[in-house]
Amino acid sequence: MSMKITDPAQFGRVAVVMGGSSAEREVSLDSGRNVLAALQARGIDAHAIDGIPALLDALRAGHFARVFNILHGQHGGGEDGVLQGALESLNVPYTGSGVLGSALSMDKTRSKRVWQSLGLTTPGFVALPRGADVHAAAKQIGFPLIVKPACEGSSVGVTRVFEEAQLDQAVQLAAKYPGDLLMETLIEGDELTVAILGREVLPTIHIVPKGAFYDYNAKYIAEDTLYLCPGLEGHAESELRTLSLQAFDALGCHGWGRVDVMRDRNGRNWLLEVNTAPGMTSHSLVPKAAAAAGIDYQELCWRVLETSFREGA
């Protein structure tokens, strides 16, 4: 649970940490600029900091009271638990999930194992350490399937594979990114995403890309992707919102985040992943869901920052 804050001075001096050195640096800078402007417009004493080393230097020097983390990705993106551990050790409050929730969500393979253990539906998968026999794994999964890095966001390195001839190329692309790979059953159907803010589950979004699927281009560049919000209605909508919060809680997440789901032709929901520091660009999904719930962008940023006040913190 987060506290309701009414006076911007209660936040103290806020570092909006963005950029960093992950594969998602550009998206993070774009998100960060928007967040910074929104917080400042609401009278918050917020300042931009690029990357983790600069942030930790500033915190050790006593420059900031709390951190709005809008870094994306791992390896210098502050979404994998590493930054969270540093902030915990310095006793600095921050937005988003803690060490466990961040690390677990960043690792799609382990996220899926947790969900499976709790009976939450996620597509069938094989974890592929470097050098694994991908053709044997594909026989096990069956086509069509998806190959992706186990620990990247923004759809980088993801390929849909419909036949064996496409497999080696898909693996080559995913292998350009650090860490293990993940192969999973391709769910044919609708792509949905569900934003969580505090304990509130925002309306679902059904993403309808012009192309074959919602890739990096559709996410950040294309202007013709359709976003239907709410994405479902009636019982189907409430069922997916409930599942999304269960998936979020199962990974030890808190504060805010976004749960990505596929809904197959039979109306069954399949959990894909949780993003613990979702994008906040003009194309991003959480602001769209918040708007559908009557929360404008500035208010959304304020509420995310409120989540840095934790119970007992």
Q: Residue 220 catalytic? A: yes
**Per annotation, catalytic residue among 19, 107, 279, 308:** 279
Residues 6+ apart with CB under 8 A from 193: 204, 205, 207, 258, 259, 260, 261, 285, 289
Question: Is there a catalytic annotation at residue 269?
Answer: no
Distances (CA, A) of 221 to 147, 232, 275, 281, 284: 23, 25, 20, 11, 11
Extract the tokens encoding 212: 């074959």
Q: Rounded to whole angstroms, how far apart are CA atoms 123 and 182? A: 11
Amino acid present at 305: L
- Rounded to 5 degrees, φ, ψ at 180 are -80, 170
Residue pair 191/260 in contact by the 8 Å Cβ criterion: yes
260 is catalytic: yes
Laid out side by side, the sheet with 145-149 consists of 125-128, 181-185, 145-149, 159-161
Catalytic site residue from 25, 258, 263, 303:
258
Distances (CA, A) of 146 to 9, 143, 160, 172: 47, 9, 5, 13
Cα separation, 226 vs 191, in Å, equals 11
Find the catalytic residue in 107, 190, 215, 273: 273
The question of whether 62 is a catalytic residue gets the answer: no
**Which are the contacts of 50, defined by CB distance < 8 A and separation ≥ 6?**
17, 18, 19, 20, 29
CB 24 within 8 A of CB 153: yes
Would you call 217 a catalytic residue per the annotation? no
**Catalytic site residue from 2, 69, 102, 275:** 275
For this structure, is 24 an active site residue?
yes
Contact partners, residue 223, CB within 8 Å, separation at least 6: none
Which two tokens mark 261?
A: 């789901």
Enumerate the active-site residues: 24, 154, 220, 258, 260, 273, 275, 279
